[in-house]
């Protein structure tokens, strides 16, 4: 019989666990606050310093016409440039900032969920195994996945559980 308990099947994603969800939520809130402060700073910059300054966006339009020159049909290429619209600098930059902030938010949220699982998974496993040991089940050992955080702590808890098992088997002990 294997001395260590087989690894239990755990939940796969951190957003199921409370610890991972709390960490991810805090990170998302921080990112949203920073993004909102950048947008507010841009609004203040726009209104105070460049109130009447506009940016004109131009579009280049190419067209091809068939023209008759000396009895031959020749393609004539025309290029015209027209102003699309006048807009403030903020109207030009704000959509780009919004998309960029959304991409950063999604990327950091993914990393937070992934990294949160590497911590919340072992905490969940240690908690459930310690609960089993407290309820009287012997020979319980914490087995973590490779790459999980808190490996050293799980080894120390396993040493403690081994010492408690040994103390229970000492002759003359209560």
- The residue behind tokens 């006048």 is 86
Q: What are phi and psi of 85, to 5 degrees?
A: -165, 160
Mean pLDDT of the chain: 77
| Cα-Cα end-to-end distance for the chain | 28
* pTM, 2 dp: 0.45
Query: Which of 90-94, 146-150, 160-164 has the least mean pLDDT?
Result: 90-94
User: In the structure, what pLDDT confidence band is assigned to residue 4 with cuts at 50, 70 and 90?
Assistant: low
Per-residue pLDDT of 111-160, as tens digits, reads 877 777 777 888 888 889 999 988 888 888 988 888 777 888 899 999 99
Average pLDDT (91-109) is 80
Query: 151: Cβ–Cβ under 8 A, 6 or more apart, which residues?
Result: 122, 144
Which uninterrupted H or E stretch holds 113? helix 89-134
User: In the structure, what pLDDT confidence band is assigned to residue 21 with cuts at 50, 70 and 90?
Assistant: low
Q: What are phi and psi of 73, to 5 degrees?
A: -90, 125
- Given this model, what pLDDT does residue 167 score? 81
- Given this model, what pLDDT does residue 3 score? 52
d(CA 47, CA 64): 44
């Amino acid at each position: 019989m294997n001395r260590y308990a087989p690894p239990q099947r755990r939940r796969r994603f951190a957003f199921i666990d409370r610890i991972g969800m709390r960490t991810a939520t805090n990170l998302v809130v921080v990112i949203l606050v920073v993004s909102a402060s950048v947008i507010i700073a841009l609004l203040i910059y726009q209104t105070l310093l460049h109130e009447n300054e506009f940016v004109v966006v131009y579009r280049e339009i190419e067209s091809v016409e068939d023209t008759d020159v000396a009895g031959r049909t020749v393609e004539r290429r025309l290029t015209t440039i027209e102003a699309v619209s006048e807009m403030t600098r903020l109207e030009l930059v704000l959509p780009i900032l919004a998309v960029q902030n959304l991409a950063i938010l999604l990327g950091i949220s993914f990393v937070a969920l992934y990294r949160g699982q590497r911590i919340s998974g072992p905490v969940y496993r240690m908690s459930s195994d310690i609960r089993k040991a407290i309820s009287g089940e012997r020979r319980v050992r914490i087995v973590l996945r490779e790459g999980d955080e808190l490996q050293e702590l799980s080894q120390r808890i396993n040493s403690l559980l081994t010492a408690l098992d040994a103390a229970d088997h000492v002759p003359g002990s209560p």
